[in-house]
Structure 1
């Protein structure tokens, strides 16, 4: 075997090794991407929970004492959502009232009716009924990784939750905390969350949540 032939063989082997290593790196990278997407999903759900909390009351209306104007809510949500999604969330949960950003619609009515007591003898009038078809649905943070499907379409990462049963408590044993808030023992959840990359970070660009 000539020296040239040996050198060519060595180069060929090195190229094969490099190609294999790149292939393995790409596979691992895809797995890491999925973990990153799921971590971002749970982070967004956790952040959004804070929109409806720290209830304060003034001039007959309730508002979030930590997020009492549009600028604060925009600053709070902007790292996690596109501008359009931020506006959608704000318009759904809030409305402006003089110098305050107060809760809108049923979110305001619920607190006005129940005041500081969340007791509800009727499931249709409880807290759960209020949030079940929104991004505040408590079941969203209870979904397991293996119950979620992630699809990539062009520059979008789409998380699909397809008719997953969420169990809140055992009906035979009863759970006062959940039942008094209008939670059923279990519920079926369907949701879609679409993320895009902005400045190297995943941000929520669209979502749809429905309790069946």
Structure 2
């Protein structure tokens, strides 16, 4: 269902761009944004224990993440993503504290715990937040700044489910999702060899 939703958003960008007379290249930047945040969700899957740590079996080394995000990020952007999610134990990438705790206490490996409702709070203020994929393009601004192109959104509403839909509400609440969250983002892209590469990003949740 997630792949269908991402495809729907990406296909819809063309219509949105035409109807709003968006600047040349704006559609391409937004496509790059949506593709990037979708790909990054791969980095919090395939969990496996390693000594006292937890790893992603599919992306155990920097080169693995580099291959995943090739053509989507600059070297600095790659480093920023990796350092926000992983620590390095020699050449091995291991999950940072907050992600380790969630895996440890969740249904994956916990014996006495069932902390699945900590999933969304764990990834909420990170590039792993699934809400980044379903932000409406109408809520995002694209602007040029020096040699970069910025994709920004201020207190953007992200709707996960309808409070009146009891089934969806129950399923999302099991993983700690609110009905609506508000996210402030800034993604900086550079245009290189015909591609928009993410060079820097900031994600912020302002409570209240």
**TM-score grouping bracket, smaller chain normalisation:** 0.7 to 0.9
The aligned residue for residue 190 of structure 1 is 184
TM-aligned CA deviation for residue 81 of structure 1: 1.1
Given the alignment of the two structures, is residue 179 of structure 1 paired with residue 173 of structure 2, yes or no? yes
| Deviations 1:11-30, CA, capped at 9 Å, x for gaps | xxxxxxxxxxxxxxxxxx96
Distance 1:85 1:53 in 2: 20
Distance 2:189 2:75 in 1: 13
Comparing 111-120 with 128-137, greater Cα deviation is found at 111-120
The aligned residue for residue 61 of structure 2 is 69
The residue correspondences of 1:109-128 to structure 2 (distance < 5 A) are: 109-116=101-108, 119-120=114-115, 126-128=118-120
Given the alignment of the two structures, is residue 207 of structure 1 paired with residue 206 of structure 2, yes or no? no
- Structure 2's unaligned 5+ residue stretches are 1-20
CA contact (8 A) 1:63 1:103 kept: yes
User: RCO (CA 8 Å, sep 6+): is it higher in 1 or 2?
Assistant: 2
TM-aligned CA deviation for residue 77 of structure 1: 2.5
**Structure with larger Rg:** 1
Residues matched between the structures, number: 181
Q: Secondary structure at the match of 2:25?
A: helix
TM-aligned CA deviation for residue 178 of structure 1: 1.1
Distance 2:55 2:191 in 1: 32
Q: Secondary structure at the match of 2:34?
A: helix
Q: Secondary structure at the match of 1:141?
A: helix
Distance 1:89 1:173 in 2: 35
TM-aligned CA deviation for residue 200 of structure 1: 2.0
Report the RMSD for the aligned CA atoms in angstroms.
Answer: 2.2
Given the alignment of the two structures, is residue 166 of structure 1 paired with residue 158 of structure 2, yes or no? yes
Pair 1:149–1:30, CA change in 2 (3 A): closer
Distance 2:48 2:157 in 1: 34
Pair 1:182–1:119, CA change in 2 (3 A): farther
Pair 1:189–1:30, CA change in 2 (3 A): closer
- Structure 1's unaligned 5+ residue stretches are 1-28
TM-aligned CA deviation for residue 115 of structure 1: 4.2
Given the alignment of the two structures, is residue 153 of structure 1 paired with residue 145 of structure 2, yes or no? yes
Distance 1:108 1:84 in 2: 24
TM-score computed with the length of structure 2 as normaliser: 0.78
Distance 1:177 1:93 in 2: 26
